[in-house]
Amino acid sequence: MIKHKCHFCGRDIEPGTGKMYVKNDGTILYFCSSKCEKNWKLGRDPRKLKWTNFYKKKS
């Protein structure tokens, strides 16, 4: 089974869960939850949200 990573938060998605979003240009985005999908659609930056794996701490 292929494991995918969430496009927004970077977490692993278990097989049989999550959502696959296909854009008009053919690119495929995988989301682990509706929370991630909605934040992506709103244009939010995952580097600014503490709960994502892409969060960058200020040095």
CATH number at residue 36: 2.30.170.20
pTM over 0.75: yes
For the chain, 59 residues long, give each residue's pLDDT as a single digit of tens: 788 999 999 999 999 999 999 999 999 999 999 999 999 999 999 999 999 999 987 65
Does residue 58 lie in a domain region? no
Does residue 56 lie in a domain region? no
What distance in Å separates the CA atoms of residue 34 and residue 26, rounded to the nearest whole number? Answer: 21
Distance between alpha carbon 28 and the CA centroid of its chain, in Å?
A: 11
Its domain, for residue 35, covers: 4-46
